[in-house]
Amino acid sequence: MTEITPRPGLAERLSAMIRLPTVSAELAERGMAPFDEFITLMSTLYPLTHERLELTRHTDLGLLFRWKGRRSGAPLVLMAHFDVVPVDETDPWTHPPFAGHIADGIVYGRGTLDDKGPLLVVLEAVENLLEAGFTPARDVCLSFGGNEETYGDAARAIADAFRDRGEIPWLVLDEGGAVVDAPLPFVTGQAAMIGLAEKGVLTLTVSARGEGGHASAPPAMTAVRRVARAIDRLGASTFRPHTPTAIRRMLGMFAGRARGFGRVLYRMLAAWPWLAARVFARLGGETAALVRTTVAATMASGGTAANVLPSQAAATVNLRIAVGETVEGTVARVRRRIADPKVEVTVVEGDDPSPESPADGPEFAALAAALAASYPGADAVPYIMMQASDARHFHRFSPAVYRFAPLTMSAAQRASIHGVDEHVTIDALERGERFHRALIQQLE
């Protein structure tokens, strides 16, 4: 494997990216300027990538770079997105979210983890390999989208271009899991959590109409109360838990690394998936989300004044659909649980969950080998990604799609994604670059 000395200034390049507020949810207010500036910035920071790779644009916010390999064959596709979520100005950030502050080996700011940091380590690896005169064995494609956070069509257009050409990637890798310490109780050491599949996403509007009028004489059932009752019926037990194959594999691997009682526990849970589903569901939070469809009311509306009964009310409900279920079946179950013909359930948008990619083939083995070069001692552990990613557009026709960002993330860092004080360590960025460099160099 070619020895390469990475370029200095990695943290400063990420800082420059963070300073551009590419907030896709605020595109109407901010305009395209931050996104256009970001694309220009990439060409400045990574001149060899732009000079030697073929770039095609797909929609205003989709970029596809193709690095021609030494021979023909299915390409490696490395994905990331350069848009970020909005910031609540009242949140107590230690450093301004779009300042790209660097201190004590850490880069702070919105997007450092989701997803400009993972995008940067891909570009760093490619630029370093180009500078060393390296050419990959097969084509390497970089698929970058600018509206992932708003379920935009940039990545879909890129995936469609592959499918229309009849080109099925050898491996697709997008954001998702990370390198974590002590991933479950009784389990020691680091684990690289690699998503074999991702849950589906569904947004519903739950609405009702009622009698308007003065609030001093309300009827027994107002529109607001009817909607509130419907939401209350969509509790945690709305959907039955079940254990996907990836979670069984995860438990089996953790059984080999657990201590004492944990070793027996994880072996038992891996052997009895029905029991694992019930235990995980009882634990709640992230653990329960691995085995069941989740329901969360996220927005509510209705009314025009404090003393006026609204004639209509509505709530937005976000669901993450468990692997093995469908949008159609999920909507039907929601309607059955609400059990009120005067409540209307409307689908705003929805995607079925992805199928599970293999954990026993050469593609997963390639990820494990790249981990050995960048995070020695961290096992490649399969799991189910609970969020939605741009990779879902490829899984419709590509059998090997994985979700993993090669960065260390503590529990506090994972909580900062879409939250407050998002940050990444410079050491993690350096290891992430090493991961992608090793993955590209070992292609056959």
Task: Say what percent of the chain tops pLDDT 70.
Answer: 100
Give the pLDDT mean for 317-325. Answer: 96
Max CA-CA distance within the chain? 79
Residues 82 and 41 sit within 8 Å (Cβ to Cβ)? no
Strand runs (DSSP E) across 338-386, as ranges?
A: 343-351, 379-385
For the segment(s) 10-198+354-441, the CATH number from 3.30.559.10, 3.40.630.10, 3.40.190.10, 3.30.950.10 is 3.40.630.10
- What tokens were used for 263? 């070793």
Alpha helices in 166-260 (DSSP H): 223-233, 245-257
Instruction: Give the start-to-end residue ranges of the domains of the chain.
Output: 10-198+354-441, 200-351
Are domains 10-198+354-441 and 200-351 of this chain identical in fold? no
Residue-level pLDDT at 184: 84
Q: Reply yes or no on whether the pLDDT at 2 is more than 70.
A: no
Q: Reply yes or no on whether the pLDDT at 316 is more than 80.
A: yes
Give the pLDDT mean for 259-270. Answer: 92
Residue-level pLDDT at 359: 96
The confidence band for 146, taking pLDDT boundaries of 50, 70 and 90, is very high
Residues 177 and 192 sit within 8 Å (Cβ to Cβ)? yes
Q: How far is CA 211 from CA 227, 303, 345, in A?
A: 14, 12, 19
d(CA 170, CA 362): 10
Residues 286 and 180 sit within 8 Å (Cβ to Cβ)? no
CA 297 to centroid of chain Cα atoms: 20
Residue-level pLDDT at 89: 85
Give, in words, the CATH class of 200-351.
alpha beta
d(CA 391, CA 394): 5
Q: Reply yes or no on whether the pLDDT at 295 is more than 90.
A: yes
The confidence band for 214, taking pLDDT boundaries of 50, 70 and 90, is confident
Determine if residue 109 is left, alpha or beta; phi over 0 gives left, psi from -120 to 50 gives alpha, anything else beta: left
Give the pLDDT mean for 254-274. Answer: 92
Residues 343 and 206 sit within 8 Å (Cβ to Cβ)? yes
Query: Of 359, 411, 374, whose CA–CA distance to 180 is shortest?
Result: 411
Q: Reply yes or no on whether the pLDDT at 387 is more than 90.
A: no
The confidence band for 420, taking pLDDT boundaries of 50, 70 and 90, is very high
Strand runs (DSSP E) across 110-189, as ranges?
A: 140-145, 171-181
pLDDT in tens, 159-207: 999 999 999 999 999 999 999 998 888 888 899 999 999 999 999 999 9
d(CA 265, CA 305): 56
Give the pLDDT mean for 55-77. Answer: 97
SS3 of 189, please? coil
Give the pLDDT mean for 22-47. Answer: 97
Residue-level pLDDT at 282: 92
Give the pLDDT mean for 48-57. Answer: 98
Which residue shows structure tokens 């909005």?
86
Q: How far is CA 318 from CA 61, 208, 331, 406, in A?
A: 25, 18, 12, 28
Q: Reply yes or no on whether the pLDDT at 1 is more than 80.
A: no
Strand runs (DSSP E) across 12-119, as ranges?
A: 54-58, 62-67, 76-81, 102-103, 106-108
Rounded to the nearest integer, the mean pLDDT of the chain is 95
